[in-house]
Chains A and B, each alone.
Chain A
Amino acid sequence: MDINILYYLIPSLFMFCCGLYGFITRRNMIAILISLELMLNSVDINFAAFNRFMYNDQLEGMFFSLFAIGLAAAETALAIAIIINVFRVSENIDVDDVVKMKN
């Protein structure tokens, strides 16, 4: 069986749509963060796949994936820190209820 690029792109698209759907519809901040990670990971897959299939002699896509993973880890740490602080203030991590900074 010949594995072509679509075998990577279609799951990646599916992951991205799941992430997008979750990002828009979820109310829990942790869930939103997970959705965001899902989208990032789907993009990482795309980078790796395009690099592998289209520019086989180069490594920029791979490195970009690694870079994005590192970035995602840092961003997750930051986001969780914010969420913890929000939880300490309002006992709740539902985005609809965190409206203290509005107005």
Chain B
Amino acid sequence: MSPVIPLLILVIPLAMFLFLGLCGHKMSHRWAGILGTTGMGVTMVLAYITAFTYFFSGDPSFIDADTHTRLQAILFNQDWLNFYDKLVIRLGFLLDPIAALLLVVITTISFMVHLYSNGYMRDHHGVWEKGFQRFYAFLSLFSFSMLGLVVATNIFQMYIFWELVGASSYLLIGFYYTKPSAVSASKKAFIVTRFADLGFLIGILILSYYTGSFDFTDFTSAPVGGPDSTVYRIDPATPSHILSVFQNSAAPIFMGGSVLTWALVLIFMGGMGKSAMMPLHIWLPDAMEGPTPVSALIHAATMVVAGVYLVARLFPLYLMEPVALDIVVVVGAITALYAAIVACTQIDIKRVLAFSTISQIAFMMVSLGVARPEFHEGLGYMAGMFHLFTHAMFKALLFLCAGALIHAIGSNDYTAMHGLRKYMPVTHITFLVGCLAIAGIIPFAGFFSKDEILTATGEYSTFWYIWMSAVAGLTAFYMFRLYYLIFWWKEHKVPEGHHTPHDQPWTMTLPLVILAAISCVAGFVPMGNLVTWNGVEEVTNPNFFTNLGNLNWGVASVSLAVAIVAIVIATIMYRKENPLPAKMKAALPHLWEWAHHRFYWDELYQFITHKIIFGCICKPIAWFDRHIVDGTMNGMAYVTNKISYAIRGFQSGRIQLYVLWYLIGAVVLAAVTMICVLC
């Protein structure tokens, strides 16, 4: 495959960013929107071509036909920073199953969001949002960064683009920069993820210090056909060689864990920050201050799964240290339950979706953590990637529906909505499809991916299987609670002087319909044929019903039953206005209160940062700086100044006085010398 198409996938969004950013304000709003959307559309087509070529062309650099193994192909790899021959930072394009999958996911969602924003970023009278062109420039920047992240050939390139997505997320969260809450939310997101990236950077440095390389292929793969080949295959011998390098190093054990474990856990910490795992999840709910299409693109479908992608990318290395994977499982499982409980009590619909996103990403993390080659050939890895794919589709759909609702109602709270099903039928149906998909009802997308995750978890441990099944039930419950509270509950009352809510223009409804259609059929994608941890196809001759045929019906029926029971409970409680929710709230006042306040994590952070870090550490340091360091300097200057004033009388300019002083000095010196000589 020639490197032109992959290069264009990266260059077009970058060029759009530069063009719209520099010249956008000179263009009309409409043309800026059309240009940005077209650019993303072209990128999407190119990404589809790349992914389809990779998966289905049978090219020997993409698949080894004899062993049915998908390979990793480096399409180009350009030296970018050449410090010296051992330390070269390269920018390149690595195509492998997960990169191809992510290319499809990112460009699809990004195109839908670009299209949708044409309608969303203007009000009912057709007046464009201020800074509309800037918005499209930032969207393009984000798409460029995210695409660069997933095709990174080395961990340093990934880190560069990792920071770029963080920066563009910051810019987009703070898009309404005149709103103080948006400004503080963007700062919060940036600072929390930066803090996590500190761990990521240390992890990268440890890893590359010992291995002497940044390349992913040097961590996980072996070249196919000679050392100069640009085609690699996942080979467990390489990570086990790295493990032995670490074990033979000067200090194999550090603070109770092997150095490799520490490196992997620190890298995972970066992933925790981006993917909003506990305890670094606090930025994601606040990030909902940004425009809703941004939430759909960045904070639901793409950027927040970067942490999952990072773990998946280094997965063969993680396999060498199962302790690190166990940590991933525990963090993921706790986060999943926490976020699901909190999502049950939020009033702002975007917050519900944000916590739902945290919970679903935690599902992916758990899935990666439980994946082991000895369980079903690493089923969890495939399941995690599958869920990443389906979740991106239905969560983007749900967010875009939420955007349509917010656009129509002008409020984020479901209390202002209630009973909208008659007014906004398209939004209603597509939202319902999204809810069914996330709840895991057959045959919608989420059913298949969640079933695979639960199967993989069941192989790993029964305890976590039950735990995650309960979370899956909670997911179904809170999503249908939200659905009923928005679209049913009681009749919608249009306040006087307001227009009746209605469906949005086609630029907004078309993405909803497309994404809903994808959510209906995405579950049938034979992911076992496409994405596995070592590239070996699980299913060699897939057809449309492969996933249905390969279901573990024991697990599937249980999870389906849990989901249906949860939906029934939600229906009873929320379909019509009734006192049950209030009664339940009264029965569990403390739990409700804690969940409503997100278990006081923000307050805890506030306490730790303000009272402990600022109060006990920063204040004394500031005092020391201001009084001791500055004081020393100021004191020296003060003393010099005073002495100068005192002795400036000597500099009278009178030669005779100088001579007198000189004479006195000479006499004193002579006297001292004399005394010294005599005594």
A interface with B by C-beta (< 8 Å): 20, 23-25, 32, 95-96, 99, 102
Q: What chain A residues lie within 8 Å of B659 (beta carbons)?
A: 20, 23-24
B663 in contact (CB, < 8 A) = yes
Q: Across the interface, do A23 and B656 meet the contact criterion of CB distance under 8 Å?
A: yes
Chain B 645-677 interface 0/1 with A at a Cβ cutoff of 8 Å (1 = within) = 000000001111001100100000000000000
Bound-state CA distance A99–B656 (Å) is: 14
Q: What chain B residues lie within 8 Å of A24 (beta carbons)?
A: 656, 659-660, 663
Shortest CB distance B656–A (Å) = 5
Q: What chain B residues lie within 8 Å of A95 (beta carbons)?
A: 654-656
Bound-state CA distance A56–B659 (Å) is: 35
Q: What chain B residues lie within 8 Å of A102 (beta carbons)?
A: 653
Q: What chain B residues lie within 8 Å of A25 (beta carbons)?
A: 656
Interface centre among A20, A24, A95, A96 (most CB of B within 10 A): A24
Shortest CB distance A56–B (Å) = 29
Shortest CB distance B290–A (Å) = 66
Chain B 611-635 interface 0/1 with A at a Cβ cutoff of 8 Å (1 = within) = 0000000000000000000000000
Bound-state CA distance A1–B21 (Å) is: 110
Q: Which residue of B lies closest to A99 (CB)?
A: B653
B interface with A by C-beta (< 8 Å): 653-656, 659-660, 663
Interface centre among B653, B654, B656, B663 (most CB of A within 10 A): B656
Q: What chain B residues lie within 8 Å of A32 (beta carbons)?
A: 656
Name 14 extra pairs, CB < 8 A, besides A23-B656, A95-B655: A20-B659, A20-B663, A23-B659, A24-B656, A24-B659, A24-B660, A24-B663, A25-B656, A32-B656, A95-B654, A95-B656, A96-B654, A99-B653, A102-B653
Shortest CB distance B673–A (Å) = 18
Mostly, the B contact residues are helix
Bound-state CA distance A1–B304 (Å) is: 116
16 A-B pairs with C-beta separation under 8 A: A20-B659, A20-B663, A23-B656, A23-B659, A24-B656, A24-B659, A24-B660, A24-B663, A25-B656, A32-B656, A95-B654, A95-B655, A95-B656, A96-B654, A99-B653, A102-B653
Bound-state CA distance A5–B141 (Å) is: 98
Q: Which residue of A lies closest to B663 (CB)?
A: A20
Q: Which residue of A lies closest to B660 (CB)?
A: A24
Q: Which residue of A lies closest to B653 (CB)?
A: A102
Q: What chain A residues lie within 8 Å of B654 (beta carbons)?
A: 95-96
Bound-state CA distance A95–B659 (Å) is: 14
Bound-state CA distance A20–B660 (Å) is: 9
Bound-state CA distance A25–B654 (Å) is: 12
Q: What chain A residues lie within 8 Å of B655 (beta carbons)?
A: 95
Q: What chain A residues lie within 8 Å of B660 (beta carbons)?
A: 24
Bound-state CA distance A46–B659 (Å) is: 21
Shortest CB distance B651–A (Å) = 10
* Nearest 3 CB-CB pairings of A with B: A102-B653, A24-B656, A24-B660
Bound-state CA distance A24–B655 (Å) is: 9
Q: What chain A residues lie within 8 Å of B653 (beta carbons)?
A: 99, 102
Bound-state CA distance A24–B656 (Å) is: 5
Shortest CB distance B664–A (Å) = 11
Bound-state CA distance A96–B652 (Å) is: 11
Shortest CB distance A90–B (Å) = 15
Bound-state CA distance A25–B653 (Å) is: 16
Bound-state CA distance A96–B653 (Å) is: 10
Shortest CB distance B662–A (Å) = 10
Q: What chain A residues lie within 8 Å of B656 (beta carbons)?
A: 23-25, 32, 95
Bound-state CA distance A23–B654 (Å) is: 12
Q: Which residue of B lies closest to A26 (CB)?
A: B656
Shortest CB distance A27–B (Å) = 9
Q: Which residue of A lies closest to B655 (CB)?
A: A95
Shortest CB distance B508–A (Å) = 80
Bound-state CA distance A96–B663 (Å) is: 20
Q: Which residue of A lies closest to B652 (CB)?
A: A102
Q: What chain B residues lie within 8 Å of A99 (beta carbons)?
A: 653
Q: What chain B residues lie within 8 Å of A20 (beta carbons)?
A: 659, 663
Q: What chain B residues lie within 8 Å of A96 (beta carbons)?
A: 654
Shortest CB distance A83–B (Å) = 14
Bound-state CA distance A92–B635 (Å) is: 46
Bound-state CA distance A20–B656 (Å) is: 10
Shortest CB distance A42–B (Å) = 15
Shortest CB distance B284–A (Å) = 70
Bound-state CA distance A23–B660 (Å) is: 9
Shortest CB distance A18–B (Å) = 14
Bound-state CA distance A96–B660 (Å) is: 15
Bound-state CA distance A96–B655 (Å) is: 11
Bound-state CA distance A36–B663 (Å) is: 15
Bound-state CA distance A23–B656 (Å) is: 7
Shortest CB distance B221–A (Å) = 81
Q: Which residue of A lies closest to B656 (CB)?
A: A24
Shortest CB distance A22–B (Å) = 10
Q: What chain A residues lie within 8 Å of B663 (beta carbons)?
A: 20, 24
Bound-state CA distance A25–B659 (Å) is: 11
Q: Which residue of B lies closest to A27 (CB)?
A: B656
Bound-state CA distance A96–B656 (Å) is: 10
Bound-state CA distance A32–B654 (Å) is: 13
Shortest CB distance A85–B (Å) = 17
Q: Which residue of A lies closest to B658 (CB)?
A: A24
Bound-state CA distance A24–B654 (Å) is: 10
Bound-state CA distance A97–B660 (Å) is: 19
Shortest CB distance A32–B (Å) = 8
Bound-state CA distance A32–B656 (Å) is: 9
Shortest CB distance A62–B (Å) = 27
Q: Which residue of B lies closest to A103 (CB)?
A: B653
Shortest CB distance B399–A (Å) = 77
Shortest CB distance B386–A (Å) = 88
Bound-state CA distance A102–B139 (Å) is: 70
Shortest CB distance B570–A (Å) = 91
Bound-state CA distance A26–B59 (Å) is: 109
Q: Which residue of A lies closest to B657 (CB)?
A: A24
Q: Which residue of B lies closest to A20 (CB)?
A: B663
Bound-state CA distance A95–B653 (Å) is: 11
Bound-state CA distance A102–B653 (Å) is: 7
Shortest CB distance B667–A (Å) = 11
Bound-state CA distance A90–B474 (Å) is: 104
Q: Which residue of B lies closest to A96 (CB)?
A: B654
Bound-state CA distance A25–B655 (Å) is: 11
Bound-state CA distance A24–B657 (Å) is: 7
Shortest CB distance B150–A (Å) = 74
Shortest CB distance B385–A (Å) = 84
Shortest CB distance A94–B (Å) = 12
Q: What chain B residues lie within 8 Å of A23 (beta carbons)?
A: 656, 659
Bound-state CA distance A43–B655 (Å) is: 21
Shortest CB distance A15–B (Å) = 16
Bound-state CA distance A45–B655 (Å) is: 25
Bound-state CA distance A73–B655 (Å) is: 21
Bound-state CA distance A32–B655 (Å) is: 11
Bound-state CA distance A23–B659 (Å) is: 8
